């Protein structure tokens, strides 16, 4: 009886030990490299340095392949998305960013279109209101029957003069 109890105790301790080492092995064996989706998420925000207006994730040039490898390396090293974009903009200028930063002259690029749309909308509304007012005054002048009869008589008299 003692022998079976010792055997069970031994088997249980071996089972627990195997589970612990197996879990530790899984943790150590995990690949810490970034996925293609993570690399492409940053690549979509950068433009090719060689081609014009082609996002980095869609370009197949050797330079873009090297850039994507650099992004993968930086992600593996623990860099954030903003740090990687800042690295490339420092190396190649702001033109490689798909979305320019909102500072300096670039503020004008961000704020001018909505401001222009707002001013244009206000001008169109004002023009429509003025046109509507003019139409209302025209309608009120014609709707007066006495005035309409007077205009008709005047036109008929002038037409008779031409005959």
One digit per residue, the tens of pLDDT, for the chain of length 163 reads 555 655 666 666 666 565 656 655 544 445 567 787 888 888 888 888 777 778 888 888 888 888 889 999 999 988 888 999 999 888 888 888 888 777 777 788 778 889 999 999 999 998 888 887 776 665 555 555 566 778 888 888 888 888 7
In the prediction, which pLDDT does 121 show?
93
**Predicted model pTM:** 0.50
Q: What is the 3-state secondary structure (H, E, C) of 26-76?
A: HHHHCCCCCCHHHHHHHHCCEECCCCCCCECCCCCCHHHHHHHHHHHHHHH
């Amino acid at each position: 009886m003692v022998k079976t109890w010792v055997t069970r105790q031994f088997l249980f301790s071996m089972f627990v030990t195997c589970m612990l080492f197996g879990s530790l092995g899984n943790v150590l064996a995990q690949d810490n490299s970034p996925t293609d989706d993570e690399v492409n998420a940053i690549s979509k925000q950068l433009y090719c340095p060689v081609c014009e207006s082609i996002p980095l994730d869609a370009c197949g040039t050797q330079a873009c392949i090297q850039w994507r490898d650099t992004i993968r390396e930086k992600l593996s090293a623990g860099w954030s998305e903003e740090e990687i974009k800042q690295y490339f903009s420092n190396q190649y200028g702001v033109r490689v960013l798909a979305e320019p930063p909102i500072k300096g002259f670039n503020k004008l690029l961000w704020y001018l279109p909505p401001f222009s749309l707002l001013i244009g909308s206000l001008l169109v509304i004002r023009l429509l209101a003025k046109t509507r007012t003019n139409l209302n005054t025209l309608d009120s002048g014609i709707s007066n029957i006495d005035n309409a009869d007077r205009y008709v008589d005047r036109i008929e008299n002038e037409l008779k003069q031409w005959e």
